[in-house]
Structure 1
Amino acid sequence: MTFGLYLYGIFPEPIPETVALKGLDSQPVYSQVIDGFTFLYSEAQHEKYLASRRNLINHEKVLEQAMQAGFRTLLPLRFGLVVKDWETVVTQLLQPYKEQLRELFQKLDGRREVSVKIFWDSKSELQALMESHQDLKQKRDQMEGKALSMEEVIHIGQLIENNLASRKESIIQAFFDELKPLADEIIENDPMTEDMIYNVAFLIPWEQEPVFSEQVEAIDQKFGERLRIRYNNFTAPYTFAQIAS
């Protein structure tokens, strides 16, 4: 029993059957061309799909394998999208958003999304801050074992917070200033964890990724052991394939 069609993404060109892909529930992945748009899909074995790590990876893997096969321009669809039939796709997606989809294909043609996530150890940064600002360290040390007023506690706390924010901003600015000239578009996202200080996606010319990667490494080297960098150079362009509502 099937529950409809599970959709993975949209491509601007037909994908031949020789590109063999397996999707969720180990189902074969097919392509369906509608009005010049090629949809990758498999038969849905569930009405709804749990956003488990395995399912998310399998969804992403279908798109990445299609990209590896040479179909680089795509609009990834959100995980868990199950539709009843192709008529639903036409009425709910193609008819209202056809022109926006075509504009997105034009924007993404010849370009790829890469992402940079920067992490630091907040405790180490705080310690380094105190070592480089002895006056601030002295004020903090004076707090220990003393009955300070609320105003004094807030003042010292704000000084520490502002100085940490300044250290963080200098790191972010270094990455932004040196990577921005290599990108056609940049989207900054909210940090995902407490130790993540910067989460940004870049849309860059496809063949320029090695140059971009080298620049990320060069900036990272400037900061030594202070940072951990998570750089993803091969992913479906979720960030830059958003339909304006």
Structure 2
Amino acid sequence: MRDPSGKSGTVQSDRSKSEKHQASGRRGTGSGKRPRTTGSERSGAPERGAGSYIYGIVPADVELTPDTLGVGDPPGQVRLVRYGEIAALVSDIPTDRPLGRPDDLMAHQRLLDEAAAEVPVLPLRFGAVVTDAQAVVDELLTPYHDDFRNTLNELEGRAEYIVKGRYVEQTILREVLEENPETARLRDEIRGRPEEATWDTRMRLGELINTSIAAKREADTAALLDAFTPLCVAIAVREPTHEQDAAHLALLAQTDRQPEIEEALAEFGTRWAGRVELRLLGPLAPYDFVRT
């Protein structure tokens, strides 16, 4: 890390006007801050044979719209379990069936990302289940209350953004062949010859190409780091997910700096037109910057 200094519904902040969270066109509602509670606030308890699935931790003064749904088939309604100045996003889930469908993972991420667009959120790993709401309080919120509250305060107004770059295959191969005479020689050597007769040469050519692309990835990632560092609170370099990845960065930034991040990325898009395809994802929950 580099430090430079189903359907999920809507998560709303119940803060005074001067303290409302704003991101991506959404804004908090409510006229007053929720007072500190001394125990759990529960909206029902899991049915028999069900557990409480935990998505993440948010400030206690958050409200949910009634259509906020989470994992499961059918999706469970998400509610808040509050303790002190923090709350857990939870829903009931049957314990007699496996959890892990792609739709469940997507619902988990979607809920956290939509929450992060409006309020600070600490995401839990997919699959966190306890027996009931009281266990959420006893096992999670009570022992870690101060740590969670302090981290949420640090994340106020911040979210994660992902910058992903993928090389255009023909362009990057042409660069490698033009810059490395050895790769061009090996390419000419295998041209028109059967694969079984040139296996070793092909292996050597592939190694040289991969090494060259890795060097380009390192240089291009460094260029993006230099550009984004002044705009971010922290940056994490992610491992490539494809051999033709040009860069894969996670940015922790103030949400009000999103236009500047978009502008910086657009400049690289112009500079690398036809060479690198760039994408920006976010605001997202800060998966790369918190550990819960």
TM-score range, shorter chain: 0.7 to 0.9
Structure 1 counterpart of 2:263: 214
Structure 2 counterpart of 1:41: 90
Aligned counterparts, 1:1-245, within 5 A: 1-16=48-63, 18=65, 20-24=67-71, 25-47=74-96, 49-67=98-116, 70=118, 72-122=119-169, 124-134=171-181, 137-138=184-185, 140-142=187-189, 160-243=209-292
| SS class of match (2:268) | helix
| SS class of match (2:62) | coil
| SS class of match (1:225) | coil
> 1:79 Cα shift?
1.7
Gap change, CA 1:93 and 1:167, over 3 Å in 2: same
> 1:100 Cα shift?
2.9
- Superposition RMSD on alpha carbons, in Å? 2.9
Higher helix share: 1
Gap change, CA 1:55 and 1:233, over 3 Å in 2: same
> 1:213 Cα shift?
0.9
> 1:28 Cα shift?
1.7
| SS class of match (1:21) | coil
Amino acid at match of 1:176: L
> 1:31 Cα shift?
0.9
1:87-143 residue CA offsets vs partner (Å, 9 max, x unmatched): 433443335533432332122112111111111145541222213445652365357
> 1:168 Cα shift?
2.4
Asked whether the equivalents of residues 130 and 136 of structure 2 are also in contact (C-alpha less than 8 Å), the reply is yes
> 1:48 Cα shift?
5.6
Asked whether the equivalents of residues 83 and 89 of structure 1 are also in contact (C-alpha less than 8 Å), the reply is yes
1:222-244 residue CA offsets vs partner (Å, 9 max, x unmatched): 0111112221022111111214x
In 2, Cα distance between equivalents of 1:136 and 1:196: 20
> 1:56 Cα shift?
1.8
In 2, Cα distance between equivalents of 1:57 and 1:218: 31
Name the count of aligned residue pairs: 238
Asked whether the equivalents of residues 19 and 66 of structure 1 are also in contact (C-alpha less than 8 Å), the reply is no
List gaps (5 residues or longer) in structure 1.
none
Asked whether the equivalents of residues 6 and 82 of structure 1 are also in contact (C-alpha less than 8 Å), the reply is yes
After the TM superposition, which of the residue ranges 227-236 and 181-190 deviates more from structure 2?
227-236
Gap change, CA 1:212 and 1:125, over 3 Å in 2: same
Percent pairwise identity: 27
1:56-79 residue CA offsets vs partner (Å, 9 max, x unmatched): 2222232344445x4x11112222
In 1, Cα distance between equivalents of 2:249 and 2:153: 22
After the TM superposition, which of the residue ranges 81-90 and 111-120 deviates more from structure 2?
81-90
In 2, Cα distance between equivalents of 1:172 and 1:117: 10
TM-score normalized by the length of structure 2: 0.70
